[in-house]
Amino acid sequence: MNNAAPEQPAELVARLRATFRSGTTRPVAWRTGQLHRLRTLLTEQGETIAAALHADLGKSSTEAHRTEIDFVIREIDHTLEHLDGWLRPEQVPVPAFLGEASAWTRYDPLGVVLVIAPWNYPAQLLLAPVAGALAAGNAVVAKPSELAPATSAALARLLPQYLDTDAVAVVEGGVPETTALLEQRFDHILYTGNGTVGRIVMAAAARHLTPVTLELGGKSPAFVDRGTDLDAVAARLAAGKFLNAGQTCVAPDYVLTDPETARALEGALAKAVESLYGPDASASPEYGRIVDERHFDRLTALLESGRQVTGGAHDRDSKYIAPTVLAEVSPDAPVMREEIFGPILPIVEVPGLDEAIDFINDRDKPLALYAFTESDTTRERLAAETSSGGLGFGLPLAHLTISDLPFGGVGESGMGSYHGRYSIETFSHRKAVLAKTLS
């Protein structure tokens, strides 16, 4: 079927639901076939997608492949390797009073899944959940972000060329199109974005009692302990923070450390930024751009929230903001009031670990928490006494790359998770089955 023809949301969902009810998507062979085709799309059309990502966000080809295209390929490969085992029914013990009986659980696909992607990783954060939904045996509506128009157009053109168009549809557009989709009954919705829209998605889903996975954001702290190797810490902080010009939901949002360490860290961060992007990041082919003027204006308004250690330069015409480190930042400064989602790294001073833990716990639960410390006691305290979607010691962002770890938030940073087998759990119903003989 040709998805290029205009199709009303109700008709589209009904068509995909008819495909699901026909049983087309249930066989493992169909699921793995779709995953192989999606993988082929990424390998054959990788440069096309990379060019679109560059047009939308200034991403280099290297970054586009590493953080989006190859990321999804690895996720697909991991799923293909383990899918049969994940789907295998799991036997459970039966109490003696039931006599001769057996019981097990099995994963049933949910039906029609809606995936709403954001603009910051517009290929990865659309295709990774789509892969999980297909692996679980569902039909899928994929909604790319209108704020990344080149990537949206490329995926809308390419996905129907490779995937089963009776079971997978792409809907482009902005708020009106998304609103129309949310009026329909889906069997699961996965939304990645901000909390404001997340509440709208959840309210719409509630009308149909549709379960949701919300991958939101938040201010992800990075605690730097006394006595750590600050050159190594700075290199890893800078690489994690300024990737994609800071437009990463799990990027370190701010640094918490004691005053003495803060002073020493300032120079190390300045050197780390120059090592990554040279003396002028605007000339570096590896440094991206802000997605649009609205976000550019929002971010430049935050640049005076502290003393500028490095960076601060910006150009609205090219949507460039230099990698910027701010020192002596007050906890109630403008840059600390909302998720930054851009290339600004504030350093907030606290006396020590106790105060850092209180600082984190007094705020919304973050999507990620990072800590640079060699102390096992400090690591255990942070693990036990704080709550976050993910926890990384010594390296930001990397937990996302491990398919056997769930990716998701908690509280204001989201609900539910996916990646690897957790995608199967999210996009399936784990059914309880009991069988007892009649004799």
Residues tagged active-site: 215, 249
CA distance 75 to 424: 12
Separation between Cα atoms, residue 21 and residue 9, nearest integer Å: 18
Element containing residue 433 per DSSP (H, E): strand 428-436
Tell the burial category of 297 from Cβ atoms under 10 Å away from its Cβ (0-12, 13-18, 19+): exposed
| Angle at the Cα of 15 from the Cα atoms of 164 and 23, rounded to 5 degrees | 65
Tell me how far apart the alpha carbons of residues 427 and 188 are, in angstroms, rounded to a whole number: 7
Residue 390 to residue 143: CA distance in whole angstroms: 26
Rounded distance between C-alpha atoms, residue 44 and residue 395, angstroms: 32
DSSP SS3 for 406: coil
Structure tokens at 415: 């609900």
Structure tokens at 184: 């329909």
Which run of H or E residues covers position 198?
helix 195-206
